[in-house]
Each structure stands twice: as C-alpha cells, then as structure tokens.
Amino acid sequence: MSLQDLLTTPHYATSTHKVLELFYVPALSRSVGYDRGVGYFTSNWLRLAASGLADLAANGGKARIVASPKLDRDDCAALNQGLDARSDPRLHTALERTLAELERDLAHDTLAALAWMIADG
C-alpha cells in the first residue's frame, strides 16, 4: 500500500485521537522520507514510533528532524556516539543493526538505535 492509499482525516486532535497509531506509524510505514521540525524532541518518540520507523528504513528511507538544541543528556550522548561512529569503522560496525533488530531496539534499546541511525546517516 502506498502513502497515497492511506486513509487520513484533514485534522487530528491529540486530545481525542491516537495520532501516533492513526497517522504517524501508518504514514512512516509507507514512506521513504520524513522531515520534521519540532521545538522539543526526546528519543522516547522513536520508541513509540518504532514499527513505522523500521518500515521507513526498510523502504530505504531517511528521517531528518530539526529540534531545539535543548536535549536530554542521554539523547545527546547517543547522538554524539552516532556522529563519532561515522568516522570510526569499528564503532560503526558495533552499532550496525538489521531491520528486524532496528524495530526491536527502537522499542527496547532506543538510545543505541538512535546512535545507529545517526551513524548510518
């Protein structure tokens, strides 16, 4: 099923809709790109959207998130580890994930999965 086939509504209210389940996960599962600007970001969102993000990766897609520079200390450490792995082949190999592992790790070892996503580009 393509993104165009996804049944959506013109408006979602977080107070009355489960936006993650109704929109984000199904849309990410059918996408090859995800660009988002947010004022607040934590890796917990990655955990909640794990299945959609894993499908995005399986589709050969990329996610780009522009966020406030005020990040949780653990999230910063994971981001820095991923950046370091881009120039360190041993660290990059240690962070590598299969797609099945990615979904599991996004749900259960979110910081390691975040580091891998940064390292993998």
Instruction: Report yes or no: 49 and 14 within 8 Å, Cβ to Cβ.
Output: no
Q: What would the mean pLDDT of 39-44 be, rounded to a whole number?
A: 89
pTM of this structure: 0.79
Cα–Cα distance between 89 and 95 in angstroms, integer?
10
Give residue-wise pLDDT tens across range 70-112: 888 999 999 999 999 989 888 888 777 777 788 888 889 999 8
Q: Band of the pLDDT at 30, cuts 50, 70, 90?
A: very high
Q: In this structure, what DSSP letter does residue 15 have?
A: T
**Residues 52, 99: contact at Cβ < 8 Å?**
no
Which of 32-36, 62-66, 96-100 shows the lowest per-residue confidence on average (mean pLDDT)? 96-100
Between the alpha carbon of residue 75 and those of residues 55, 115, 118, the distances in Å are 22, 9, 11
Does the structure show a pLDDT above 90 at 68? Answer: no
Residue 23, class by beta-carbon neighbours within 10 Å (0-12 exposed, 13-18 middle, 19+ buried)?
Answer: middle
